[in-house]
Amino acid sequence: MQIEELYQYSDTVNELLARYGVKFGIYKNGTFNEQLFPFDMIPRIIKKEEFTCLEKGLKQRVAALNAFIRDIYGKKEIIRDGVIPEEFIYMGSGYLAQCEGVLPPKGVFTHIAGIDLVQGKDGKWYILEDNLRIPSGASYPMIARTICRKSSPALFEQNSIVDNRDYAKLLRRTMDYVNTGGHTVILTPGRYNAAYFEHSYLAELTGAHLAIGHELVAENDHLYFVDYSGKKELVGAVYRRISDEYLDPMNFNSESVIGIPHIFDIYRKGNVAIINAPGNGVADDKGIYYFVPKMIRYYLGEEAILSNAPTYLPFYEEDMKYVLEHFDHLVLKDVAEAGGYGVVFGSEMTKEEKKKFVSMLKEEPRRFIAQEVIDFMDIDIYEEGKLLPRKADLRAFVLMEEEPVVWESGLTRFSRNPDSFIVNSSQGGGFKDTWVMAE
């Protein structure tokens, strides 16, 4: 059975995905638009040996990132030892002073990490960014696989593709590992959230309660789920799909109406696990990315297995000089932005834009990083009977139990525009399944 046989089911599979509600909501100019998240039938295929190497590198990276966050909200030895300048911590928007001295259950901060990678034309993988707050996307390849298996069961039977439908099992183990006693809850802001499909799907598959903010109350140093009859049940773990800012109006943004007042106070006392830990933004800042290989050396005493894209920090004089000299070959990123925003290519700027940007860069060098543009490998997409090459990245998911575990699949996102390198779903891209081969 050949993989090409799968293509003929493209429309049916997409129809089914739509019916299941695989959508992506986007807020633009004050209006909410729900659009389908287009699925392409051609999978990204990763060979066993290649994945084994990725797996090792990803585990190493997440272990170091977790150690880093723990250090930053604890003793701060990495600053004391001069490995990371303190302004990159305190001037960044991800650092939350409220988390100082708070050690989460089992010392886990990065329960679910979404690490974005690209493969260069030479076959080498590069880390593009770390997402340690609320990385979404695992549900998409999972449901796509479920449907594809139904359309061509023989294909999956005859090829040794590692089954990726166990993500929910991994997630459940991750949540149970830190649970302080009581129910496990997935906290959603509601159906207008971009990733609501994922929230409900993961709740269904893990057997967790899907809850909104006011169904959870803090009382007597514990968190409770209040059911429709008013009965209260103890909660031990909350996989929250709400950002830190809106999580708790009594500790963060006081305007939040979707959060749980005092959940952070209970968490501080160790009486509930919050997944992922508040304050993780301190480690996935684009400015901190530069330091991850140094972190790996510092905390683990190892060299990084997976490389960063070559990155320059204009904060350092030497790097600033390089950036100004090679401006046209670099991509510049605003460290405070996410989701593909705040990314500009030196080569695409007019003279005037460039002048403006350079003066901004000189004024606030810490705000930007510059990277070599990686010419990454194309993957074909199937459109109207034709195969078209497109840029694609891979979001790998690393879940933390006693040790980090890498999910043997991942979300492959592609840019629908042939000239674009930006693959973010919030910019209208599509997705593919990721097949890891068992032999």
CA dihedral for 306, 160, 151, 407, sign (positive or negative): negative
Among 18, 217, 324, 437, binds another protein (CB under 8 A): 217
Give the per-residue contact string, 263-302, with another protein (x = CB under 8 A; - = no): --x--xx---------------------------------
> Is 218 a binder of another protein (CB under 8 A)?
yes
- 385-420: b (≥16 Cβ within 10 Å) or e: eeeeebbbbbbbbbbbbeebbbbbbbbbbbbbeeee
How near is the Cβ of 200 to another protein at its closest, in Å? 26
For helices 139-151 and 196-206, what crossing angle results, to 10°?
A: 70
How near is the Cβ of 184 to another protein at its closest, in Å? 23
In degrees, rounded to 5, the angle at the alpha carbon of residue 120 between the alpha carbons of residues 117 and 124 is 80
For helices 167-178 and 196-206, what crossing angle results, to 10°?
A: 80
> Is 221 a binder of another protein (CB under 8 A)?
yes
Residue 219 CB partners (closer than 8 Å, separation 6+): 232
Among 43, 213, 249, 281, binds another protein (CB under 8 A): 249
> Interacting stretch for another protein, rule CB under 8 A, among 56-64, 122-130, 250-258, 299-307?
250-258
Q: In the complex with another protein, which residue's Cβ is closer, 31 or 220?
A: 220
Write out the binding residues for another protein, residues 94-153 only, by CB under 8 A.
95, 97-102
CA dihedral for 26, 421, 53, 284, sign (positive or negative): negative
For 167-184, the DSSP string reads: HHHHHHHHHHHH--SSEE
* Alpha-carbon span 233 to 226, nearest angstrom: 6
How near is the Cβ of 217 to another protein at its closest, in Å? 7
385: helix, strand or coil: coil
Q: In the complex with another protein, which residue's Cβ is closer, 36 or 91?
A: 91
> Is 250 a binder of another protein (CB under 8 A)?
yes
Write out the binding residues for another protein, residues 81-100 only, by CB under 8 A.
86-87, 89-91, 95, 97-100
- Specify whether the CB–CB gap between 374 and 382 falls below 8 A: no
> Is 253 a binder of another protein (CB under 8 A)?
no
Neighbours of 249 (CB within 10 A): 18
In the chain, the amino acid numbered 29 is N
Among 4, 15, 163, 219, binds another protein (CB under 8 A): 219
> Is 337 a binder of another protein (CB under 8 A)?
no
Q: In the complex with another protein, which residue's Cβ is closer, 27 or 90?
A: 90
Instruction: Say which DSSP state 159 is in.
Output: S
How near is the Cβ of 76 to another protein at its closest, in Å? 5
How near is the Cβ of 388 to another protein at its closest, in Å? 46
Write out the binding residues for another protein, residues 56-85 only, by CB under 8 A.
75-76, 79-80
Q: In the complex with another protein, which residue's Cβ is closer, 238 or 381?
A: 238
- Specify whether the CB–CB gap between 265 and 57 falls below 8 A: no
> Which residues lie near another protein (CB under 8 A)?
75-76, 79-80, 86-87, 89-91, 95, 97-102, 214, 217-221, 249-251, 254, 261-262, 265, 268-269
